[in-house]
Amino acid sequence: MTPVTSHIGDTPSPISPSVRLGGVMTILLSLTVLAFFLALAPFDSAQSWRSPFALPAIFWIPMSTGFGSFLIAGWVWSLRPADLATRLFALSGVATLAFTFAPAITYSTRLELPETVSLALSLTNSIGASAFGIAMIALCLVYPARLPGLRIWMTLNVGVFGLATLGALLEILPRAFGVHLITSVEMVCIVIAVVGQLLHSRRDPTQRAIALWLGLAILFGAGGFIVTTAAPSVFNGAPLIPAVYSFGFFLLIYIGIAAGLRRFRLFELGEWAYRVFFYVVGSALLVLVDITLVILLPIGPGMAFGAALIIVALVYLPLRDVFARMLLPRPDLSDDQVFQSIVDVALEPDTVRRTRLWQGLMQRLFKPIEVEACSFSGTEAVTGIDGVELYIPAISQLPAIRLRYPWNGRGLFGPPHQRTAARLAQLLSHVEAGRQAYDRGVASERQRIARDMHDNIGAQLLSALHSSDQGRKDMMIRESLSDLRDIINDNSASDLSLEEVLSDLRAETAERCAAQDLELGWTLSGTDNIALAPAASHALRSVIREIVSNTIKHAAASMLDISIATASDRLEFTCRDNGQGFDPATITPGNGLDNLENRISALGGELTTTPSTDGVETRGSFPLQTPEQTS
Amino acid sequence: MTRVLVVEDVKETRLWLSDIAGRAFSEPQITEAGSMRAGLAAVNSKDFDLALIDLGLPDGSGLEVLRNLKLVCSEAICIVTTVMGDDAHIVAALSAGADGYLLKDTPEDLFERQLKQLADGTPALSPSIARRIMEHFRFTGPAASPEDELSPREREVLGLIGRGLRNADVAKDLELAESTVASHIKSIYRKLGISSRAEAAWHAARMGLSTTP
């Protein structure tokens, strides 16, 4: 693929586009003032100046055509003065100015113009018309692509039509070779050049779109003039519409091109072209209104400037806003929609679908013809091949994307699109990070529930199932339910103090003891800021529960003291009752005491039960942190 | 004679509850309901002195039955019976006017004891619910009037219960009569209801559901 044209900024110029456009407008306004002067001036001193409103259509129509064409061509040129295409386009604008202003003056002035001036005006008209054709052919030969054999075609174009025009004007050629015939032939050549461009760009949608748009604008404008006016005149017929109106066709060309600047990035120009235009036109308008006020109204320059400012502010700025809204690009998606889509992409759990959603969003935003994953390794969105491509970086598991031929091949990517893409990619990675944090949260919560379930409830239900003792069965099932409650209410959460973790056990124990008229002493010491691993607190709870059960069932005690304390990274607990005690010899192995010892030794601790005639004392201790509990 | 309503969808548990109620009260007249619909129908058909209501019913929430019963006979003592003891649900039930709650996995004798106490008008709170209620008052907006906020004494009571003390132990700790502790707890329940209603009204006003600002 060949680059469309040279890069913007290839030839840095000290003069800014606004200044050049200002220069163009100065020339244009001077010529316009001159034309008005010639059209309005009285024939002699007996006559008075004409009112501008009394001027005929033959003045207004060519004048406005020339004015608009020159302005637009000059505008485009002033933005990219070094480019051959814009120079040719500017040349066509100058030609249009020539062949419109000249007849406008000739047909509307009441002055007795000197012979030479009349002849000059007539020549200006003819040369302008032919030069317009030559410039347009040349433009179609070099833009959007330089057609093969450009030199030959260029030489032929300028040589043949230039000489023919010269011949016609000097009346060397037969009368049939009038300027109308030459311009008609030029039109045919423009059509051929446009077809050449279309053929040449058939593999490149961007260039093809430009060729089509430019070709259509020229064909409708100039073609309209030829068909309605020039061709009938060649064949000695009457024009299809009054010749005066046919000038308007040429303005169509320039308006069409101006409208295509952003959409097709004609001449590599984008929306910034409009910004420059609005700015310069606004300034010119200010000066014009100012001058008009000074001339027409009996007010001083100061007041006039103020009034001009107000008028421009009230009329031009709102108008400019309306035009800007029409011409400057608006994204098809609202910010809300884009944001919603980004969130959808980030929250989609399936990677394949997420990739599809992300590419779909890019598709809707830029409407490229091609969207595909690529191995782009940058971290920022960048454009490539002069804006034909846009690369979006890879984001977490989403592959990098290459977008090609935006807006269905009718446009190019520019810096604003690059910025938009970069911002969206950034936004997506932020949301993605949030989603990953959320996923991690869900995973760790699920892990907590699974661990708590596995550690306690599964084991308890299993031992309940296999226990033949009805009482034990009930107790273990109750314990499972109580553990389940803890899991649901997240009572093992680390922000609870040990006292709070054990508060339910205390309340429950107190309740049970009260029912048996057993006095309970409950002492906690050194347990502030101690976090107990869930497994440890479950074990501690079930051990104490069972000890209390034993005391209630067997001890016939009136008092039970339970104290829990921490010392040097160990938790120690003591349960002492004042009951009748028991004889260790009568205890059969495999009973509850073994069970208690097992539970504590599983935590890496030990438990001793000391029965005496004064009651039973059970002491236990285990380390607060065991290696597998560090999680 | 005590008229008791038992709303519970698990059949065995319903029988177990009725059994205990039958032993706890003299000459009880027990009505059983296995669903929210049946519970509502029972409430509409006659008055009750006491109701044991399960919250998670197959066709809806026991809260509906509770609200209806409180509406038609405000004197009835409503006790929520639950097995999971999901703190948030219990606090919601207390806000809706429940007089207390019991865990269905409590051993039978203990359950009967606690039921009798509740029926006598002695409320009880478990530590985790007490903590949850404290949190509720900490995080809900400012009360409409200062007397609807918890008094320092009530906070003390909640704090001790949250650490596992029973009413009697709280009374001893604060040198109060046990009946005073009970009245503090009842007051906490009442304020919980007020604050929840105030909060609901505030939310409703904010969403434009209510005309009063």
Among residues A439, A457, A483, which one ends one of the domains? A439
AA letter at A240: L
Percent of chain A with pLDDT over 90: 7
In a domain, A479, yes or no: no
| Residue A367 and residue A401 in one domain | yes
| Residue A618 and residue A588 in one domain | yes
Q: Edge to edge, what strands does the sheet with A389-392 contain? A: A370-374, A400-404, A389-392, A382-384
Confidence at residue B13, expressed as pLDDT on a 0 to 100 scale:
92
The verdict on B22 touching A (C-beta cutoff 8 Å) is no
B84 CB neighbours in chain A (<8 A) are 481, 484-485, 488
Give the largest Cα separation in chain B, rounded: 51
Question: E strand or H helix at B74, and its extent?
Answer: none
Confidence at residue B210, expressed as pLDDT on a 0 to 100 scale:
46
| Distance between CA atoms of residues A207 and A144, nearest Å | 6
| Distance between CA atoms of residues A100 and A88, nearest Å | 18
Q: Is the pLDDT of residue A9 over 50?
A: no
The verdict on A491 touching B (C-beta cutoff 8 Å) is yes
Q: CATH topology for B127-206?
A: Arc Repressor Mutant, subunit A (1.10.10)
Section B123-127 average pLDDT:
82
The residue range of the domain holding A188 is 17-42+53-270
Rounded to 10 deg, the angle between the A57-79 and A272-296 helix axes is 140
For residue A628, give the DSSP letter. Answer: G
| Residue A210 and residue A285 in one domain | no
In a domain, A140, yes or no: yes
Find all residues with CB under 8 Å of A526, minimum gap 6, and list them: A565, A566, A567
A480 near A457, Cβ under 8 Å?
yes
Helix (H, G, I), strand (E, B) or coil at B30: strand
| Distance between CA atoms of residues A110 and A118, nearest Å | 13
Q: Is the pLDDT of residue A432 over 70?
A: yes
Q: Is the pLDDT of residue A10 over 50?
A: no
The verdict on A489 touching B (C-beta cutoff 8 Å) is yes
Other CB atoms within 10 Å distance of the CB of residue A66: 30
| Residue A165 and residue A190 in one domain | yes
A208 near A261, Cβ under 8 Å?
no
Nearest to A264 by CA among A224, A227, A301, A211: A211
pLDDT tens digits along B24-77: 888 889 999 999 999 999 999 989 999 999 988 889 889 999 999 988 888 899
Nearest chain B residue to A500 by CA distance is: B163
Token digits of residue A86: 């814009």
The verdict on B91 touching A (C-beta cutoff 8 Å) is no
A453 near A479, Cβ under 8 Å?
no
Query: What is this structure's pTM?
Result: 0.50
In a domain, A565, yes or no: yes
Please judge whether B84 and A510 are an interchain contact, meaning their C-beta atoms are less than 8 angstroms apart: no
Burial (CB count <10 Å: 0-12, 13-18, 19+), residue A426: middle
Percent of chain A with pLDDT over 70: 87
Greatest mean pLDDT among A164-178, A202-216, A559-573 lies in A559-573
Confidence at residue A273, expressed as pLDDT on a 0 to 100 scale:
67
**CA-to-CA separations, A264 to A49, A155, A387, A527, in angstroms, rounded:** 47, 29, 12, 76
More confident residue, A223 or B189: B189
Nearest chain A residue to B82 by CA distance is: A485
Section A59-81 average pLDDT:
88
Nearest to A129 by CA among A97, A106, A157, A158: A97
In a domain, A100, yes or no: yes
Nearest to A398 by CA among A359, A341, A438: A359
B139 near A515, Cβ under 8 Å?
no
Could you give the number of structural domains in chain A? 4
In a domain, A209, yes or no: yes
Find all residues with CB under 8 Å of A484, minimum gap 6, and list them: A457, B84
Q: Is the pLDDT of residue A95 over 90?
A: yes
pLDDT tens digits along A443-483: 888 887 777 677 677 777 888 888 888 887 888 888 888 88
As a dihedral over the C-alpha atoms of residue A202, residue A208, residue A214, residue A217, rounded to 10 degrees, the angle is 80
In a domain, A461, yes or no: no
| Residue A300 and residue A346 in one domain | no
Nearest to B76 by CA among B88, B67, B63, B84: B67
| Distance between CA atoms of residues A530 and A89, nearest Å | 84
Confidence at residue A408, expressed as pLDDT on a 0 to 100 scale:
65
In a domain, A284, yes or no: yes
| Location of each CATH 1.10.10.10 domain in chain B | 127-206
Confidence at residue B36, expressed as pLDDT on a 0 to 100 scale:
92
pLDDT band at A545 (very low <50, low <70, confident <90, very high): confident
AA letter at A392: I
| Residue A386 and residue A362 in one domain | yes
The verdict on B105 touching A (C-beta cutoff 8 Å) is yes
What CATH superfamily is the domain B2-119? Response regulator (3.40.50.2300)
Confidence at residue A529, expressed as pLDDT on a 0 to 100 scale:
72
| Residue A256 and residue A308 in one domain | no
pLDDT band at B6 (very low <50, low <70, confident <90, very high): very high
| Residue A505 and residue A393 in one domain | no
Please judge whether B85 and A507 are an interchain contact, meaning their C-beta atoms are less than 8 angstroms apart: no
| Residue A122 and residue A134 in one domain | yes
Confidence at residue A314, expressed as pLDDT on a 0 to 100 scale:
77
| Distance between CA atoms of residues A54 and A32, nearest Å | 17
What is the complex's ipTM, to 2 decimals? 0.79
- Taking the CA of residue B129 and the nearest CA in chain A, the distance in Å comes to 10
pLDDT tens digits along A534-544: 778 878 888 89
CB nearest to B131's CB, from A474, A500, A515: A500
**CA-to-CA separations, A155 to A151, A152, A161, A163, in angstroms, rounded:** 6, 5, 10, 12
Mean pLDDT computed over every residue of chain B? 84
pLDDT band at A427 (very low <50, low <70, confident <90, very high): confident
Confidence at residue A424, expressed as pLDDT on a 0 to 100 scale:
84
| Residue A287 and residue A352 in one domain | no
Q: Edge to edge, what strands does the sheet with A519-525 contain? A: A519-525, A559-567, A570-577, A615-623, A606-612
Token digits of residue A69: 């064409």
- What 3 state SS string does A354-422 have? HHHHHHHHHHHHHCCCEEEEECCCCCCCEEEHHHCEEEECCECCECEEEEECHHHHCCCCCHHHHHHHH
| Residue A516 and residue A533 in one domain | yes
Residues in chain A: 631
Q: Is the pLDDT of residue A627 over 60?
A: no
More confident residue, A189 or B136: A189
pLDDT band at A262 (very low <50, low <70, confident <90, very high): low
Find all residues with CB under 8 Å of A108, minimum gap 6, and list them: A39, A55, A56, A58, A59
Residue with tokens 């300027």: A179
| Location of each CATH 3.40.50.2300 domain in chain B | 2-119
Burial (CB count <10 Å: 0-12, 13-18, 19+), residue A48: exposed
| Distance between CA atoms of residues A212 and A221, nearest Å | 14
Among residues A220, A255, A270, which one ends one of the domains? A270
In a domain, A488, yes or no: no
pLDDT tens digits along A305-318: 777 777 777 777 77
Helix (H, G, I), strand (E, B) or coil at A517: coil
Please judge whether B107 and A478 are an interchain contact, meaning their C-beta atoms are less than 8 angstroms apart: yes
| Residue A593 and residue A551 in one domain | yes
pLDDT tens digits along A228-246: 777 777 677 777 777 677 7
- Average the pLDDT over each of A349-358, A591-600, B136-145 and give the range with the smallest value: B136-145
Q: Is the pLDDT of residue A1 over 50?
A: no
| Distance between CA atoms of residues B7 and B61, nearest Å | 11
Mean pLDDT computed over every residue of chain A? 79
pLDDT tens digits along A144-173: 888 888 899 999 999 999 988 888 888 776
- B32 strand-pairing partners: B6
